[in-house]
Amino acid sequence: MMPKDFFVKNYSKCWKFIKESRNFIYIVTSVFFLFVLIGFFVPVPDYLADEIMKILAELIRKTEGMSQFELIRFIFLNNTQSSILAMILGIFFGVFPIVFSAFNGYVLGFVALMASNSGGIGVLWKILPHGIFELPAIFVALGLGLKLGMFIFQKQKKKSFKNYIYETARVLVFVIIPLLIIAAIIEGSLIILTK
């Protein structure tokens, strides 16, 4: 039988670890928003714009004709897979979380520019609800991935690595996945409603 305070204890430990990792989360968040600005304000080379448009077209093709439930499931699985990869691949000195953050920030900036060019700057408010739960979950995942890559600089490397893995897995289960479920429901529902 599960102890009465099982969830309380685990959430408490999660927030403690997130608080201890906040500088890493701030770094990936700053990189993300820096690249959002670059994607929005710096002219995109034609070849790069073409590549981004191909990625977006492929995403639209994959989700075309999906029901609301299928779309929610697709968004959730896609975001969860990205979060887990960002955490695990952070082991390589935290390079992947930084690259992932920069790339996604740049794509968001580019998409925001395209959207504002076609529908005016006000259309950006329609994009906002899509990221309210998704972005914090992704930033925490990326920040913890970055932190994982720093275990190499700790005195007790093996102990630090084990602790980082264990605490990161706890945050994934109790914080990131629930946020991504909520994000997928909101995003999937909004896409269906605005079709």
Predicted local confidence at residue 80, as pLDDT: 95
Q: What is the pLDDT of residue 144?
A: 95
- Polymer length of the chain: 195
Q: What is the model's pLDDT at position 96?
A: 93
pLDDT value at residue 166: 94
The pLDDT, as a whole number, for residue 141 is: 96
Check residue 125 and give its pLDDT.
58
Could you give the C-alpha distances from 160 to 24, 73, 153, 155, in angstroms and in order? Answer: 16, 34, 10, 8
Which 3 state secondary structure label does DSSP give 4? coil
Enumerate the domain spans of the chain.
Answer: 20-52+68-193
**What residue has token string 């897979």?**
81
What pLDDT is stored for residue 195 in this prediction? 61
What is the full per-residue pLDDT of the chain (195 aa) written as tens digits?
Answer: 667 788 999 999 999 999 999 999 999 999 999 999 999 999 888 888 899 889 888 888 888 888 889 999 999 999 999 999 988 998 887 889 999 999 999 999 998 888 788 766 555 555 666 678 899 999 999 999 999 988 877 788 888 889 999 999 999 999 999 999 999 998 888 877 766
Q: What is the dihedral of CA 95, 96, 99, 100, to 10 degrees?
A: -150
In whole angstroms, give the CA distance from residue 166 to residue 150.
Answer: 15
Q: Which two tokens stand for residue 41?
A: 């304000």
Exposed / middle / buried, residue 101 (Cβ in 10 Å: 0-12, 13-18, 19+): buried
* CA R_g for the chain: 18
pLDDT in the model for residue 178: 96
- The Cα–Cα gap between 109 and 136 comes to 17
Q: What is the pLDDT of residue 121?
A: 58
SS3 93: coil
